[in-house]
Amino acid sequence: MFLSSRVLDLSESVTLKINEKVAKLSSSGQHVYNLTAGQLPFKPSPEFIHSLERQLNFLKSYQYSPNAGFEKLRSKVIEKTAQKRDIKFPKGEFDCVLSNGSKQSIYNVLGALINPGDEVVVITPYWVSYPEMVKLWGGVCTFVKSKTFDNYTPALEEIEKALTPKTKAIIVNSPNNPAGIHYPEEWMIGFAKLLKKYPDLVVISDELYSEVSYFDPRPSYFYQHDPELLSQTVIVDGISKTFACTGLRIGHCIAPKKITKAVAKIQSQTTSAPNSLTQRALEDFDFDLLQNFFDPVKQQLRTCAQILREKFRDHGLSHCWYQTTSAFYCLIDFSRMPFFESFEAENSKDKSEEIVEAIFDQIGVALVPGTAFGHPNSARMSMTLEIAPFEEAMDRLVGFMAKKSS
Ligand code: PLP
């Protein structure tokens, strides 16, 4: 075979099959409740669109930017992050590298850190690309499981047990895709204490959904409790979710300079830099305007979360419910649902894909199988649909799940 073993070893996207089915049915005119989306279904704020339009008139918007991104935007991102998190980055010791989406930031950071055989701790459920990216750089994932009934918050003892002399990094994603929760402040305090014992362990803190939090308390971070930990932290964020700009592909990492230099080096030999037009529009844009834009989104997420709770309660499924608080998602664990009996009988294999297909075929609701997130017998549901169709979809879904097999 002429393809590299590296590529042959990569997992195929499990969303492909369901997306193909959704597209086929929608194009044939049939109504489908598509709850697979990982993005907001509308355009960014008018003020940001105006910033983009203004920058269309400048030659610099069409030319290369420095590999790490424009200096002015990098400083602005560092300053805004410090302000939002109420922290101070030690002067001159940290930098920011802008990339083509936070996905590329994470990929570059892993490349900067991992030697073949190094271990990376990944908490399940995880964002779909972490394990594959670790694998691409020759690293090995050690998985630490979290459970639905602990609100998908992993036990710190389990994390500590997973650490070995080969562990290079841990990826922490709070708020979490796919669980739709953020880890509580007590967890972050405990995690900060744990990290003090492991000064060589790097934390990749994926904070892409930090502003997408619709029930108090807001997300907090371990380094806010002990700022010295910033020296072993890489903060990853981007504009995809909070600016509703997944297609403009801008993400960033903030880290001690020895890491950002290595990240910029990888970038300089691969993709150069993200697009100059969007970088310049971001330089020009007042980030504080985002709050007005995002408030209605949070209101909708709150309403959807409440609908979900009521539907679960009304169908006797409260024991399968947990409170979502952030990001756009809920991870439904099928394993204690009445309908599950008919799936579990034969063997203990993960039935996520089978169940998601049955749900789609029988009630027209599309979900992403939990296989993608390393959580068996589950599915991720997006809560970005408008209220009325979301409520209809929930009636169908909860009706399906509450039914005992005959
Ligand atoms: N991290 C998490 C947790 C995500 O959910 C996503 C996208 O859905 C990404 C990173 C990558 O986002 P982007 O590359 O669009 O910034």
Q: Is 127 in the pocket of ligand 1 (CB under 6 A)?
A: yes
The Å distance, Cα 342 to ligand 1 centre, comes to 35
Residue 328 near residue 382 (C-beta atoms within 8 A): yes
The reply to whether CATH 3.30.110.70 applies to domain 5-43+291-405 is no
Distance set, CA 256 to CA 104, 195, 232, 263, 279 (Å): 18, 17, 8, 11, 22
Buried b (16+ CB within 10 A) or exposed e, 56-91: eeeeebeeebbbbbbeebbebbbeebeeebeeebee
In the chain, how long is the greatest CA-to-CA distance?
Answer: 68
Q: Is 234 in the pocket of ligand 1 (CB under 6 A)?
A: no
Number of the ligand 1 atom closest to the C-alpha atom of 246: 15
The Å distance, Cα 238 to ligand 1 centre, comes to 8
Q: Is the omega angle on the peptide bond into residue 131 within 30 degrees of 0, that is, cis?
A: no
Mutate to test the pocket of ligand 1, among 97, 102, 176 (most ligand atoms within 8 A of CB): 102
Buried b (16+ CB within 10 A) or exposed e, 112-132: bbbeeebbbbbbbbbbbebbe
Residue 383 near residue 324 (C-beta atoms within 8 A): yes
Number of the ligand 1 atom closest to the C-alpha atom of 106: 10
Number of the ligand 1 atom closest to the C-alpha atom of 238: 16
Q: Is 370 in the pocket of ligand 1 (CB under 6 A)?
A: no
The Å distance, Cα 31 to ligand 1 centre, comes to 28
Residue 398 near residue 337 (C-beta atoms within 8 A): no
The DSSP bridge partners found for residue 251 are 99, 238
What is the residue extent of each domain of the chain? 5-43+291-405, 63-288
The Å distance, Cα 43 to ligand 1 centre, comes to 18
pLDDT tens string, the chain, 406 residues long: the values are: 799 999 998 987 777 677 788 888 888 888 899 999 888 888 999 999 999 999 999 999 999 999 999 999 999 999 999 999 999 999 999 999 999 999 999 999 999 999 999 999 999 999 999 999 999 999 999 999 999 999 999 999 999 999 999 999 999 999 999 999 999 999 999 999 999 999 999 999 999 999 999 999 999 999 999 999 999 999 999 999 999 999 999 999 999 999 999 999 999 999 999 999 999 999 999 999 999 999 999 999 999 999 999 999 999 999 999 999 999 999 999 999 999 988 876 667 899 999 999 999 999 999 999 999 999 999 999 999 999 999 999 999 999 999 986 6
Same fold, 5-43+291-405 and 63-288: no
The Å distance, Cα 103 to ligand 1 centre, comes to 6
The Å distance, Cα 234 to ligand 1 centre, comes to 15
Mutate to test the pocket of ligand 1, among 103, 172, 182 (most ligand atoms within 8 A of CB): 103
The Å distance, Cα 100 to ligand 1 centre, comes to 11
Give the Cα-Cα-Cα angle 34, 38, 40 (nearest 5 degrees): 85
Residue 204 to residue 392: CA distance in whole angstroms: 39
The Å distance, Cα 347 to ligand 1 centre, comes to 34
Q: Provide φ and ψ at 277, rounded to 5°.
A: -60, -50
Q: Is 380 in the pocket of ligand 1 (CB under 6 A)?
A: no
Question: Per CATH, the architecture of 63-288 is what?
Answer: 3-Layer(aba) Sandwich (3.40)
Q: Is 38 in the pocket of ligand 1 (CB under 6 A)?
A: yes
294: three-class secondary structure by DSSP: helix
Residue 21 to residue 367: CA distance in whole angstroms: 11
Residue 154 to residue 147: CA distance in whole angstroms: 7
